[in-house]
Amino acid sequence: MKSSMNSIEKGLFVLESLTEFDFPVSLKVLTQRTRLPKPTLYRILQTLVRTEYVTQESDQGHYAISPKLAEIGSSQRHSALKEAVLPRMERLYHAFAETVNLGVLVGTNVQYLHVLETEKSLRWIVRPGAQDAYYCTALGRAIAAFLPHEAQERLLVQGKLERRTPKTPSDVEHLKRILRQARDNGWALDDEENAVGVVCFAAPLFRKGTPVAAVSISVPKSRLTPALKSEIVQALESLDKDLPTSLAYR
């Protein structure tokens, strides 16, 4: 029994160590972090991969917390995040009466955690829990643009850039330019690159200097005037982007 408990404790320790990273990490990095013997750590990771609590990239073999495990612990974590961000979302919603979204990066997708939907008849409907590719959404770009260089590089080489619309970027160099522009601006733009007829603006939210979420405003292209665009950009630039350091969020 003691041996079994030791194995369980080691497995939980490995999972806890993985949650400290916002990007897939190598066996070498995890060995340094956990100080477990590499063969032992490898066996634990393979067990976690088989049970779908950890994912392993097919190309570089890096490890990350799986959506399955993230979902198990998401309720409380996301509840705290939503509670912290909701007042800011409500201010944006009352200022523009357009749809306001809160999202986080999950692998190569952005997951919508909370949505304040416009009451106007023409609108882009997204349900909480839904996911979109990070590279063609303002939410995903706002987070990706501010990731540490190594994490961003890994994200850029994961998966194919599939066209969602004629405007969706289809090569990594183009996407890199988009992310550099978003970082320079402090906000990200999706101009009909995820859905035809919809433009989104997003700003990142940081915890201890790390981008962990983003808030966006979605506007039908037909309603987006130059004046409205300028007002939205100003609102996002002045948005409080810092989350409480006490926020229990990975």
**pLDDT tens column, 37-72:** 999 999 999 999 998 889 887 667 899 888 666 656
> pLDDT higher for 246 or 70?
246
Q: What is the pLDDT of residues 210-234, one digit of tens each?
A: 899 999 999 999 999 999 999 999 9
For 218, residues 6+ apart whose C-beta sits below 8 A from its C-beta are 98, 99, 100, 101, 123, 124, 126, 198, 199, 200
Q: What pLDDT is stored for residue 76 in this prediction?
A: 56
Q: What is the pLDDT of residues 89-135, one digit of tens each?
A: 999 999 999 999 999 998 888 989 899 999 887 777 777 778 889 99
Q: What is the pLDDT of residues 172-216, one digit of tens each?
A: 999 999 999 999 999 999 999 999 999 999 999 998 888 999 999
Is-contact 138 217, C-beta < 8 A? no
Tokens of 28: 């070498």
CATH 3.30.450.40 range(s) for the chain read 73-237
Cβ atoms within 10 A of the Cβ of 142, count? Answer: 35
Q: What pLDDT is stored for residue 100 in this prediction?
A: 96
Sequence-distant contacts of 108-114: CB under 8 A, at least 24 apart:
108/133, 108/134, 108/135, 108/155, 108/158, 108/159, 109/133, 109/134, 109/140, 110/134, 110/137, 110/139, 110/140, 110/143, 110/214, 112/139, 113/78, 113/81, 113/82, 113/213, 114/82, 114/85, 114/86, 114/89
Cβ atoms within 10 A of the Cβ of 43, count? Answer: 15
CATH 1.10.10.10 range(s) for the chain read 2-70
Q: Is the pLDDT at 168 greater than 90, yes or no?
A: yes
* 202 vs 219: CA distance, rounded Å: 12
What number does CATH give the domain 2-70? Answer: 1.10.10.10
- CATH architecture under which domain 73-237 falls: 2-Layer Sandwich (3.30)
